[in-house]
Structure 1
Amino acid sequence: MSADLTHIDTWLFDLDNTLYPEESGFMGQVEGRMTDFVAKVTGLPRDEAFVLQKKYLAEHGLTLRGLMLNHGVDPADFHALFHDLSLDLLAHDADLLAALERLPGRRLIFTNADDKHAERVLAHLGLDHLFDDVFHIHSFGFTPKPDPLGFERMIDAHGLTPATTAFFEDSERNLKPAFDLDMTTVLVGARAEASTAPFVTYRTTKLAPFLSGARLKEAA
């Protein structure tokens, strides 16, 4: 059955591995550069740096947050790692473009990445004109998802009404604060169907057909 999203007037999307498929391999390149950076900062062998990278991600919601707190890393130095990364693995998706265009109301990006990365990816995907704003890691003061404070700051900044907002994410745990705030939550990606989390409203392996088939609010 198609999802009932007739109450939604604000569409909140994660960026990486949500607006393009994880299978693209693009985030693998991002993680590789991240591991190299952690190894350089800490002096650890690369395999140990990878373990620490994932530890910080689990503890803080963002590897960068752990690096800032424990190693005094400048966020600008960290983000610069990815600003020249090739985007060739990311392909235009005409079906997703059409599905996003039919959504009534505001469309926003909510990402733990920085503004430049988000702008590069959205422009490459041909989706940048569809979104009203990008709420990025600088916007919410480096309190990354799933920190509830980041959600509160995003809601305040854009005057969102959680009950009429749908949030799309590839990370299950990032959906819990949204659900607790009364948002409709949608888990996207290859692991979605296996999820049994009670805070996930809908699950879909592919975003475009889910949006295309959803029931939407009629235009006024």
Structure 2
Amino acid sequence: MTLKNSIQSWVFDLDNTLYPSSSNLFAQVDVRMRSFISDFLKLDEDQARKVQKQYFHDHGTTLRGLMTNHNIDPAPYLDYVHDIDVTPVPPSPELADVLAALPGQKYIFTNASTKHAERVMDRLGIANQFSGIFDIQDAAYRPKPEPEIYDTFISKFNVDPTTAIMVEDMARNLKPAADLGMSCLWVDTPSDWARLGSDEEYVHYRTDNLVNWLKATL
């Protein structure tokens, strides 16, 4: 049986996975995170950056650190940090075509917000290709790769992990998916942080061109 015929659910990360990492949307998000922290905690820019990065490393996301240490309301934070220009993402008719040709259901599984995901998907021209989005709110604001949220994703969409594939640019985020029985595809980017875990057995497939890889499965 070919991979295409064995997969019933295609689970895609969003940022730097469905669009090129060279679009560098996170650079904009990074600036807005620092600005939010500076205003909220009354810190100068350098202090805010230190808090931002420390919370990211300690808690998996800066948001989680802010919630844990300062009990912030996540909604205004997410609205603020994702209020960015998405035009650096190039529309991708090729991606839209190959997604349309894939059998089964397609989902977004992201540490970002649904609003951000929808804006990026609209920019790419793929908004009508997906059956659902699982965002950071669905995950109770716990980030990948916390294993429990993968179970929540599966329950929400009634996905059989043994007939699913997860596609990610952050290699370590694939481990919980593989542990559940999913096939796992890593999208290689220039980021050293994203490569952590890329040599592990839970990375079953790898590519530096998602569209071409998906075409090859058809």
Q: Is the pair's TM-score, using the shorter chain for normalization, greater than 0.5? A: yes
Structure 2 residue aligned with 1:58: 57
Q: Output the CA distance in 1 between the equivalents of 2:201 and 2:82.
A: 37
**Could you tell which deviates more after superposition, 195-204 or 8-17?**
195-204
> How many Å separate the matches in 1 of 2:48 and 2:110?
24
Amino acid at match of 1:168: V
Q: Is the 8 A contact 1:167 1:186 kept in 2?
A: yes
Q: SS at the partner of 1:6? A: helix
Q: Which residue of 2 aligns with 1:207?
A: 210
Residue 112 of structure 1 aligns to a residue whose secondary structure is coil
Normalised by the length of structure 2, the TM-score is 0.90
How far apart are residue 181 of structure 1 and its match?
0.8
Stretches (4+) displaced over 4 A: 191-194
Choose between structure 1 and 2 for higher RCO, CA contacts under 8 A separated by at least 6 residues: 1
Instruction: Tell me if the contact between 2:11 and 2:165 (Cα under 8 Å) persists in the aligned partners.
Output: yes
Partners of 1:15 and 1:118 within 8 A in 2: yes
Instruction: Could you tell me which runs of 5 or more consecutive residues in structure 1 were left unpaired when the two chains were aligned.
Output: none
Q: CA deviation at 1:122?
A: 0.9
| Residue equivalent to 2:44 | 45
Give the root-mean-square deviation of aligned CA atoms: 1.9
Aligned residues: 213
Please list the CA deviations of residues 7-66 of structure 1 after superposition, one character each: whole Å capped at 9, or x if unmatched.
111000011111111111212111111121122223333233223322222232221111
> Does the CA-based 8 Å contact 2:166-2:174 persist in structure 1?
yes
Alignment of 1:136-155 (within 5 A): 136-155=135-154
> What's the secondary structure of 2:6's corresponding residue?
coil
| Matched ranges for 1:17-166 at <5 A | 17-166=16-165
TM-score (norm: length of structure 1): 0.89
Distance 2:145 2:173 in 1: 5
Structure 2 residue identity aligned to 1:204: T
Q: Work out the CA distance in 2 between the residues paired with 1:60 and 1:38.
A: 16
